[in-house]
Amino acid sequence: MHIRIINPNTTRGMTETIGKAAKDVAAPGTRITATQPDSGPVSIESHFDEAISAVGVAEEVLAGEQGDDPVDAYIIACFGDPGLLAARELTRAPVVGIAEAAFHVATMISTRFSVVTTLGRTGIIAEHLLESYGFSHHCRRVRAAEIPVLDLEDNADAALQRLIEECLRAKEEDNIGAIVLGCGGMADLTDHISEAIGLPIVEGVTAAVKLSEALVGLNLGTSKHGDLAFPRPKPFVGRFESFSNLKTQ
């Protein structure tokens, strides 16, 4: 089984962190490749960043579909799940967003959870996703440690301490059974935080790997009936001319 994990931002160190975390939990026989777009934001911290990065996600899925190395499942490794539905239109393989995966897993081990993310503004985006995916009634609170995403790479020790402090507040104040980490760049922090606070910590990259393996094992792929059917071929102009008359069947 080949799972292609797409880091929608362009920071190589974060892609490597995500890839390693995925490989650490993958089953024997599962091969992980971690990739990122050639162009786009170095971190994703706004609706604008997500909109730009969604194009890169689509390009990475198309590269997987058109390459010589068949892909069995794709993971979008940003907690905003940018371009998720568009990516699903481009392939029959399962496409799993890490936020959606984390929310599902958290509800399987607890009746209530809180999300701890990076910035307050991205916390609002997480709240929109909770509502869209139908998990709002399971989530007690979305909390922000108020750390820029790149601090997870560039100022890792201080960022980890801030996250632990916010997770401890969630445990003490939110009456929850689990915590969801709200950023793909936190993929390698699960054990550290769980040990520090004594609650189950759900991290989206690793959750998405296990859900992807399950979907492939069940021979379940993206439905091509209805709105997730392949996009109708049509001309594109300008910088998107390469998308003209896509052959995705």
Instruction: Give residue 153's pLDDT.
Output: 85
Domain segments of the chain as ranges: 2-97+207-243, 99-204
User: What tokens does 9 get?
Assistant: 């931002």
pLDDT single digits (tens) 24-41: 999 999 999 999 999 999
* Share of residues in the chain with pLDDT > 90 (%): 94
Neighbours of 39 (CB within 10 A): 12
Mean pLDDT of 53-81: 97
* Share of residues in the chain with pLDDT > 70 (%): 100
Domains 2-97+207-243 and 99-204 share a fold: yes
Could you tell me which CATH class the domain 2-97+207-243 is placed in? alpha beta
**Cα torsion angle, 230, 233, 237, 242, sign:** positive
User: What tokens does 160 get?
Assistant: 């980890």
pLDDT single digits (tens) 104-122: 999 999 999 999 999 999 9
Cross-strand partners of 201: 179
Could you tell me which CATH class the domain 99-204 is placed in? alpha beta
Task: Give every CB contact of residue 123 below 8 A, 6+ residues apart in sequence.
Answer: 115, 117, 142, 143, 144, 182
pLDDT single digits (tens) 136-169: 999 999 999 999 998 898 888 999 999 999 999 9
Cross-strand partners of 48: none
Instruction: Please state, in angstroms and rounded to a whole number, the distance separating the CA atoms of residues 117 and 100.
Output: 15
Mean pLDDT of 45-49: 96
* pTM score, whole prediction: 0.96
